[in-house]
Structures are given as C-alpha cells and as structure tokens.
Amino acid sequence: MTNFEKTPFRAQWPLTFAERQIAIEQQTNPESCAYNINHWAVEINGALDAVRLESALGIIVSRHAAFRSCYPMENGEFVRRVAEKLSVRLHKESCARGDTEELTQKTNKPYNLGNAPLFRFTLYQTGNETYILHFNFHHIIMDGTSFSVMMDELWCVYKGETLPPLELDHTDYAVWQLENTDDENSREFFSQMFADGVPEIEMPTLPKRPDVLPFADTDCIRIIDLKPIDEAARRLGITTFELLFAAAGLTLAKYCGSEDVTLGVPMNGRSVTQTAGMVGMFVNTLPVRVKAPGLMSAGEYIKATCF
C-alpha cells in the first residue's frame, strides 16, 4: 500500500500536476472566471448564528492548507505559498429568494492566483430564518470531494464538536507526488494507447476553430430525464456513465468523420487512501481513446467502449 509522510515546514511548496495545469491555463487569460466554482450553495432553514458560522469557517480555513494557499510566479515558475494565518470574512446580505442567482453572478470576479484567499463566502438572508450560504472558490484549491469534506467538518465545528487533528495535508501530498512521478505501469498503459500517435481531428465548425481557443465563461446546460438512460444501461449490463460515455464518443466520431477519437474522463485523483479527508485539488482528466469501426453496430460499439 502506498503511503506518504508529514513534510517539515517549507517557505514554498511544489504544485501538484493538477494545480500546475490550472495555473498555466489561468495565466493565459488572467481576467477569466472559467476556473471559478460559483454554483455551490446550501439552503438553511431555522435559527442561525452568523457569528458562530463565520468562526467555524475560520477554523476550517486554518485547518487546511489549501484555503491559505496562493500561487505566485517566481523566476518564471509557479510556486505555492501557504499563509500561517488568514482572516476569514463571511459577507452578509439580505435579499429576495429569487435574487440570489443574479447576485452570485455579479460577485463572481476573477482571482489573482498570487494572492490569498482564493475563496469567497456569502450568507444571503432571504426571509425570516431562511438563508442561503454561497461558496465561490478558484478550482486550484477545491474539487467536489474536498467540498464534501469541508461541509461535513463545517457543521461539526458549528455544532461545537472538536475535530480530530489533521495528520497530513495537501502540501504533503504534493511533495509525495513530485517524488513519485516514475509510474511505470501508467507510462506503459498510455504508451500502448497512443503507440501510433495521438489522433488529430477537427470539429466541423463555422468559422473554423482558432489554434488557441479562448476561455469560455459560460456553460451549456441541458436537463434530461435519466430514467430511460438508466433502464437502457441496465438492459445492456453496463453503468449509466459507460452508456453516456459511449454515446459521446460515437457522436463526436460521426461529427468529425473519424473512427478514432480521444475523450477526457475526469477522475477524482485520490488513489492514495491517506487523501480521503484532505481538502485540495486532486481531480485529473485522463485521455481515453475510442475507436469506432464503421461496420460496428451501436450495441457493439457501446460494449467495446466499456471500461
């Protein structure tokens, strides 16, 4: 079993692969909010002590290095610095329930990665003992699993409970990852996947895509009924994700006129058990190459793409 240990204090820390990728991409367009996580909020009904909540948020920020991190550039390279202490302010505002979405969009502003904090906490009071606690993070310090860890700990602290000491932190993981980059199994796997090179295909868009893509600060969201998709997946003996992944690959293959496409699959990146209770950016996107010979039926293609 892979394990790592506590690292002595450093004035600056290495970035993980995921952090480095985000920092470089943010650098290409520093005014972009593309890496802002602005859609996480919790609705609270009942009596709430805002002062205690702000104090609890401060304890969580002090507990995890990710919240106190910034990523300045020094000598042409990004470094990670972790502040010993960081004041936490819970912004408070009263508004109508229907106005919160507009307000959160107005406050969704770019972060300067060289300065902490890379988060914003806002408490909207929408009525008599009704609240919405809104969170805004830069993705470089946060992912979905980390948010679940944070929320579990936040409510424990708010209720007056004492959390067990945090033996290891995200900074320790970053050092371990840097020192254990020689993964022969992974190298062999991806070398075989792309033994004949990485397929280059173009989407048939008008106008043609530029060589350097601009950052998109908007989302394309479509709400669909998952019930028939779940039922189809069960009939095929596969997971819903596998079915949707196959559908995405087949659709791209047809649009691009190619039998060979590569899709990115997000993974939670917590392959080491010690990272379970940590807060930080662990998510990684893995390339998955999908080949769809023209004589394959849709059913044959779906089964061929299952993991």
- Mean pLDDT of the region 50-59: 97
245 burial type by CB count under 10 A (0-12 exposed, 13-18 middle, 19+ buried): buried
For residue 84, give the DSSP letter: S
Tell me what percent of the residues of the chain surpass a pLDDT of 90. Answer: 58
Query: What are the φ/ψ torsions at residue 70 (nearest 5 degrees)?
Result: -140, 165
Nearest to 66 by CA among 19, 101, 22, 3: 19
pTM of the model: 0.85
Lowest-pLDDT choice from 51-60, 125-134, 168-177, 178-187: 178-187
Nearest to 125 by CA among 144, 99, 155, 86: 99
- Mean pLDDT of the region 269-297: 84
CA distance 246 to 244: 5
Domains of the chain: 17-175 (3.30.559.10), 185-304 (3.30.559.30)
**For 66-110, how does the pLDDT look when each residue is reduced to its tens digit (9 = 90+)?**
999 999 999 999 999 999 999 999 999 999 999 999 999 999 999
pLDDT at residue 65 is higher than 50: yes
pLDDT at residue 217 is higher than 60: no
Distances from the Cα of 181 to the Cα of 15, 178, 220, 272, angstroms: 13, 6, 36, 14
Q: Give the pLDDT of residue 12.
A: 94
Mean residue pLDDT of the chain comes to 89
**For 26-38, how does the pLDDT look when each residue is reduced to its tens digit (9 = 90+)?**
998 899 999 999 9
CA distance 198 to 189: 14
Q: How many CA atoms lie within 13 A of 45 on its CB side?
A: 1
